[in-house]
Structure 1
Amino acid sequence: MQQFATFVRKEFYHVLRDRRTLFILFGMPLAQILIFGFALTNEVKNASIAILDYAHDEASSHITARIAASNYFEVEENVRDRHRLEAAFKEGTIRLAIVFPANFHQDLVHQNHAQIQVIADASDPNYATTLTNYVSSIIQDYQTEISENMALPYRITPEIRMLYNPQLKGAPNFVPGVMALVLMLVSVMMTAVSIVREKEMGSMEILLVSPFRPVGVILSKAVPYLILSLINVMSILLMSVFLLQLPVEGSWLLLFAESTLFIITCLALGIFISIKTKSQQVAMLVSLMGMLLPTMMFSGFMFPIENMPVPLQLFSNIVPAKWFYIIAKAIMIKGVGIAEIWKETLILCGITLFFFIISLKSFKVRLE
């Protein structure tokens, strides 16, 4: 019994001295509770919308005010023409638009019937359906209120139009997300164990005494995984086109170039993990758990980022998969060019450069 108590006490000492173990035991459960409790929700809030009002009358102003006052929508801009509306959809600054035709109030008063056009970005079909249902509910409430004392009630009919994905298929949403998830996991995980494996096998000494500079060692580890990941990209795109009937609306060359950039970003991150860790098990754990959950939760693939609290929205900006998911969906579904995605591209370039420089600075030419 005394020996058993001694071993128990020794394990307590070991756990308390190991900060990583303490983090896993206490930090991870707290983080998951906060994330699953506040960030991961199917409720739609603060969706960016635009208003195109050709009427500028009393009825259109009242409906616009009700929409703006709800917690579901944030009116980003009041556009003046359809060209700006289409540009806003392509840029991804809005998720839904409401168009009031000319003489909206007059049609409502004299004909007891008027139409409103609701245009939604259906590249995410579930999100688009939810938004249009919310708008229809607000319009229905306004219609009920003004018709209470009327012998012949007013009737407002929303005209729903789904852009980019009129059939509300799921493939346009999950194919770019699967690309981001697969490339992130494969590139980071496989690269993360490359350098640390050399340390464990004892072959790192041979590399360090070779004429190779640190940058050469790092690049030699990354190139094979770059090629394998590019093959993954091509296989995913071919399956999406021929099996899922999801054509690439934009430039294949641009999509391939952006995918290459994202792969390089993931490789730089994987090399950084490999340099900082001392065993393959730790490298695998960090790359798997550290990349899988952020990619799934903060890329916008499964859960709208707009629904999350502001601190988590800010945190999502450091997740590379978020920016690639925006880029891939914009090219594949919306058919945009580099003019609409240059900001996201620059962010990925910055993240890549950051991790590559940090990896070079952290690479030790002497084994400890």
Structure 2
Amino acid sequence: MNLGVIKAYILKEIVELVRSKFIILVYLFPSMVILLFGYGIRMEVTHSRTVILDHDNSKLSTELISKFEHSKYFDTRVLNKPENEILKEMKKGKVDILIIIPESFEKRLLHGQKTEIGIFVDSSFPMRGTTMQSYAEGVIYNAAQSYMKNIPVKNLITINNRNLFNQSMRDENAIVPGLIGIILLVAPAILSALLIVKEKETGTIFNFYSSPAGKIDFLIAKLTPPFILHSANIFILFLWATYLFEVPFRGSFFIYWLSSEIYIIISVGIGLLVSVITRTQIVALVATIIITVIPGFLYSGILMPISSMVGSAYIEAHIFPVMYFNHIVYDCFLIGQGFSSEKNVLYFGVLIFYAFVLLSLGTLFMKKEMR
């Protein structure tokens, strides 16, 4: 590894980025995307993971549980655990809805007395939270009305609802953290792909072919500017999210920063692979957009929760790194479990694996010779 060669290449790239004004897009593009989509996306879900605590054990509560179990909107489990344990599972992302049927629920209704039922909803995604809440309320009222026949029950049952993690049900709290994952996937990949393909298109790649510089030196010099420049976007996007959109941040900033840096390495690795198979900047640009933007939106969890996907869509979502990174980002902003959550630790390990594999493949396929 020749540090002098690497330094010279890096300075050359930065000077060209400044001279061509392309460096403006490095920071303008991410900010424009988070502003446009952060304000523009407004989305109002099946197989919600539902836990029911039945403290009544009556005929009505059994009927109510049956309604949930036979609904395609809920994957229902009836447990006999303390409420706090279920809430801990919800905090770890294992439960979407907790329904608590109180004692004497049926008895109070039969006597015409008002009663209440508890619903705890994971509202990290407000649109999904609202939908799950309305479905649960509909099932409860329908089951009670069917059981009570002609006696109106809507005025007798009070739904004691609580939304967790995104209590205000703000769309920004769900959209903006997800946009960070998409932006940090797309922008570094485009820049890293263009910096290498530009050498092919203009013919200056022959300077590298004929120089004593090694392949590793060349790749480090080419990929370092995108990595360093977009590392600043980690902080810029964080400021946009917390101060402009007022998204709460409940987790560890160190975990957010470290995961983002590894994620940028993944993005740069994608750009490197694209640059290996393309020869013109326009082809590299289109290919990078197709590889990053479409999966980024479909499998980031912004438009549709991953848990609601089935079949090939569910498998594809686990192939792309954006799902793993966004899970950690949402945790950092809305939940705050950090590395105390086994799922976060697993997903962090998956990101490291992706970074290693993509860079290794790019280095392997990059040849220092004419084709």
Q: TM-score, normalised by structure 2?
A: 0.82
Q: Which residue of 1 aligns with 2:156?
A: 155
Q: Which residue of 1 aligns with 2:35?
A: none
Q: Across the two proteins, how many residue pairs are aligned to each other? A: 327
Q: Which residue of 1 aligns with 2:223?
A: 222
Q: Which runs of 4+ in 1 moved over 6 A?
A: 151-154
Q: Distance in 1 between matches of 2:219 and 2:87?
A: 44
AA aligned to 1:360 is T
Q: Which moved more, 1:122-131 or 1:147-156?
A: 147-156
User: Do the aligned residues in 2 keep the contact of 1:177 with 1:301 (CA within 8 Å)?
Assistant: yes
Q: Which residue of 1 aligns with 2:94?
A: 93
Q: Distance in 2 between matches of 1:201 and 1:318?
A: 35
CA distances 1:96-153 after superposition (whole Å, capped 9, x unpaired):
2212233433443456333211111112111100110000110111121122155999
AA aligned to 1:130 is T
CA distances 1:48-96 after superposition (whole Å, capped 9, x unpaired):
2222333344333321221121011112673612332232222222222
Q: Distance in 2 between matches of 1:217 and 1:85?
A: 53
Q: Distance in 1 between matches of 2:189 and 2:109?
A: 59
Residues 221, 55 of structure 1: alpha-carbon distance in 2 compared, 3 angstrom cutoff? farther
Q: Which residue of 1 aligns with 2:8?
A: none
Q: Which residue of 1 aligns with 2:358?
A: 355
Q: Which residue of 2 aligns with 1:365?
A: 368
The correspondence of residues 72-151 of structure 1 with structure 2, limited to 5 A, is: 72-75=73-76, 78=79, 80-110=81-111, 112-150=113-151
Equivalent of residue 347 in structure 2, options 330, 344, 350 = 344
User: Do the aligned residues in 2 keep the contact of 1:112 with 1:153 (CA within 8 Å)?
Assistant: no
Q: Which residue of 1 aligns with 2:255?
A: 254
Residues 69, 246 of structure 1: alpha-carbon distance in 2 compared, 3 angstrom cutoff? same
The correspondence of residues 1-368 of structure 1 with structure 2, limited to 5 A, is: 44-75=45-76, 78=79, 80-110=81-111, 112-150=113-151, 155-340=156-341, 341-368=344-371
Q: Which residue of 2 aligns with 1:9?
A: none
Q: TM-score, normalised by structure 1?
A: 0.82
CA shift, 1:318, in A, is 1.1
SS of match in other structure, 2:65: helix
Q: Distance in 2 between matches of 1:333 and 1:98?
A: 22
SS of match in other structure, 2:49: strand
SS of match in other structure, 2:79: strand
Q: Which residue of 1 aligns with 2:24?
A: none
Q: Distance in 2 between matches of 1:285 and 1:337?
A: 36
User: Do the aligned residues in 2 keep the contact of 1:121 with 1:128 (CA within 8 Å)?
Assistant: yes
Q: Distance in 2 between matches of 1:263 and 1:58?
A: 56
Q: Which moved more, 1:307-316 or 1:264-273?
A: 307-316
SS of match in other structure, 1:115: strand
Q: Which runs of 5+ in 1 are unaligned?
A: 1-41
SS of match in other structure, 2:367: coil
Relative contact order higher in (CA < 8 Å, ≥ 6 apart): 2
User: Do the aligned residues in 2 keep the contact of 1:122 with 1:168 (CA within 8 Å)?
Assistant: yes
Q: Which runs of 5+ in 2 are unaligned?
A: 1-42
User: Do the aligned residues in 2 keep the contact of 1:139 with 1:156 (CA within 8 Å)?
Assistant: no
